[in-house]
Structure 1
């Protein structure tokens, strides 16, 4: 079994104190050791004048000999928040940044994680000092996060990579088969914001992180709902939190629905056929989307030749929505990576390979002169066991314990 998470870094004094939280913090450390995860602790000061810190450090070193403790200015250890403070000890162990997470609380810890491009878990049991990272209130919550989202054997169940088409899905959507019964919860999340939204978006984003996709993108954009002016119900705040960890930008209004599209479920019920035009003729790109960092629209279009956008949709049936976003964004010169939570069972992905000319930043009304290529569902189902892990993790999510 491939282990995606190989190392956890602690930020020392703002996470580990000799007080009522220490027993649970030690439980977290032992949990990581039992999972064969390397534990590093980074400190900027040597506490030579603070006897209680020296005693705590000696106590933990003696009890957990697997821990490596790095103290700035000792043995050429570099000060945080420089990236090398983290990357150097990781390199010594042949561990990459995307195989690591950082647990901290201080502004210095946050900057260290961001500078080294490592996912930051904000340990807030001593209070919140920064709004970066996924906020977790107890060591037990961090252990739960790691166990459910980081210790996974399966990242993607469905994958197409063919030239400038790159698409991934976590699992298969099939409400009529028991082995895909998580599909009901995913649908509640995607359509109504019910079910377990936090689970699904973190399950998706952790796959982005451990697969290294975050290293290749500049922006994240959601695909809108079918109604005119609608936005995605996928958790915006969680995506923004993730994006900030890696200095990426979330473009919530990049893809705009200018006209209500026919809903695929209703079309199937009424025996109506839909194709790519249902999406191509109802969306356009916003040339000046909101820059989340300043809360105002960009003054210059952020999409250009050297940029890559990660587009997230809830479900993919035949790829009409994702293909539309791909063509519109690629028309600007930017690259695209496509994601959905789930891929509908037994439905081939239909790629557009030829289309009449159009302008991405305005309403278009294209005709049927579209050529497509089908990608067999079974051929691109790369992991037949991902559904088992999704079922188990979702079930465990509400009732996780040590």
Structure 2
């Protein structure tokens, strides 16, 4: 058994590898070579038996470490059954959390969910209409980026606690004052995001999403993100307020390993003192004397009674932004365990250096987890545990932030030749895909209209580019795709697909001080409205 806590194998559906007989998807050869150079196995999954070695060789691709078809799966289980990935892990001598799956269909998504394995939908091979909420990659290079910065590093924590006797674990990612670069000589702290609720962009990425993705990936590699768990956020001191920074990401990330986000699982039903504010007041001699012990949590937080039957036997993963001495996390464990949860895992972004305190109810003391409990501090047995906060993955995350910042800065304007021609009438540097082309006189989806509107605005008011759009039906295909022809100052005209054009435009907007972001897939009116709302929030910030 390979003991490394990193991804050791990538299982790939054959449709994400081969575009047709003897034809590999663009960028897939580079991905497979990159995996081989890092001793990460790749596994080919097909429904029907095939001569994989010959088919891949015809496309100029290497042989996989393992090829499995339905005949190789116990009981010939259909795709969607976890037996596919169990077979991969068994054949390669790996744990399930050392695998990731790259799929092209909803059934691949189900396979990952049922196995508790991270699933990535290959949008370069399938623009799936069904709602898939796993991770998405527009091109194979995105998978390289995900592995390089999130899944090929051993998980490191600022603080960790494993208490098997209480079926409880804590993982805190960073020290509370961790600071990272965001490009242009600027920096940010994790408190800027999770305490002050600022939106921080690092290149084209939301820094919150980068931090949260790292937290989830590290927990996955560490065995602290089991599939089909309940996710919840420990409630803030004000009833019904919630934690928008955590909740906003978890609502999208819940199916990364097939879990469910239950935003109302833990409820604050009575206003409680803000522990951070009270600690600060005490530190400057302005204490209000308000109770901020675990007893204050007991009087104000409960498990939602709607989950009485649903929570029994489940693993519950409780997210919080910061932990100090652990009162909130310990009360969550007491509540959830009493409600019937089999295991409780607490994941936090930051850790203050105070020592963690273990709180257990004294013998004979009982609580009702589905209501608030007016019990004094003396009803708890306390044990002082480990303290401090190490650096965690600060160095790895610094490298990732520098990469995202540099990628956006580098995309702003490619190096121009000294003498620019009067007209950009040169042929494109790369061959145009074969197929039937037509002018883009009307936009088929809101995503394309949003991109075209900004290209026109840049052209007329901010940046001297030249652009036009076409629709292409590739030879042998029935699905229409968009081609964006763009010429930057001093550059020949070049075609871009929609994702490439969006990255280019995002970089230009960043350089000229325009707030703009692309519309997320599938790119309809709803996604456009969400993007416009986020842009307006950033303008007002």
Per the TM superposition, whether the score is higher than 0.5 is yes
Q: Name 2:467's counterpart in structure 1.
A: none
TM-score by length of 2: 0.62
Which residue of structure 1 aligns with residue 154 of structure 2? 153
1:212 maps to which of 218, 223, 227 = 223
SS in 1 for 2:90: helix
Aligned to 2:93: 94
**Cross-structure match for 1:200:** 211
- C-alpha distance in 1, partners of 2:340/2:78? 38
Q: Which has the higher contact order (CA 8 A, sep 6+)?
A: 1
The aligned counterpart of 1:294 is none
- Residues in 2 aligned to 1:254 and 1:75: alpha-carbon distance in whole angstroms: 37
Say whether the 8 Å CA contact 1:197–1:234 is kept in structure 2. Answer: yes
Following superposition, the deviation at residue 56 of structure 1 comes to 5.7
Residues 1:372 and 2:375 are matched in the alignment:
no
Which is worse superposed, 341-350 or 321-330?
A: 341-350
User: SS at 1:17's partner residue?
Assistant: strand
Q: What are structure 2's unaligned runs of at least 5 residues?
A: 181-186, 201-206, 409-541
- Change beyond 3 A, Cα 1:190–1:15: farther
TM-score (normalizing by structure 1):
0.81
Distance 1:170 1:35, change over 3 A: farther
Alpha-carbon displacement from aligned partner over 1:8-54 (angstroms, at most 9, x marks no partner): 01111145315998332222222212221101111113579xxxx99
Q: Hey, what does 2:84 align to over in structure 1?
A: 85
Q: Which residue number in structure 1 is paired with residue 422 of structure 2?
A: none
Q: Secondary structure at the match of 1:8?
A: strand
Could you tell me which of 317, 329, 341 is aligned with 2:336? 329
Map of 2:534 onto structure 1: none
Q: Aligned to 1:322, what secondary structure does the other structure show?
A: helix
Residue 301 of structure 1: which of 309, 327, 341 is its match? 309
Give unpaired runs (5+ residues) of structure 1: 290-299
**Alignment size in residue pairs:** 378
Bigger Rg, structure 1 or 2: 2
Q: Distance in 2 between matches of 1:217 and 1:45?
A: 29
Q: SS of 2:241's equivalent?
A: coil
Partner of 2:179: 181
Does residue 360 of structure 1 match 2:365?
no
Question: Equivalent residue for 1:169?
Answer: 171
- Quote the RMSD (CA, aligned, Å): 3.3
Show CA shifts across 1:309-355 (max 9, x none): 22111111111111121112122232442323344342011221336
Contact preservation (8 Å) 2:11, 2:101: yes
Note the 1:2-401 alignment, pairs <5 A: 2-14=4-16, 16-17=18-19, 22-45=25-48, 57-60=56-59, 63-65=61-63, 67-73=65-71, 78=76, 80-81=78-79, 82-125=81-124, 126-130=126-130, 131-162=132-163, 163-164=165-166, 166-175=168-177, 180-182=178-180, 184-191=188-195, 192=197, 194-195=199-200, 196-215=207-226, 218-236=229-247, 238-240=249-251, 242-244=253-255, 246-271=257-282, 272=287, 274-289=292-307, 301-304=309-312, 306-354=313-361, 357-369=366-378, 370-378=380-388, 386-399=393-406
Q: Give 1:184 deviation, angstroms.
A: 4.9
Change (3 A) 1:357 1:35: same
Q: Is the 8 A contact 1:78 1:85 kept in 2?
A: no
Instruction: Give the match for residue 481 of structure 2.
Output: none
Tell me which moved more, 142-151 or 367-376.
Answer: 367-376
Helix, strand or coil: the match of 2:336? Answer: helix
Distance in 2, matches of 1:264 and 1:74, equals 56
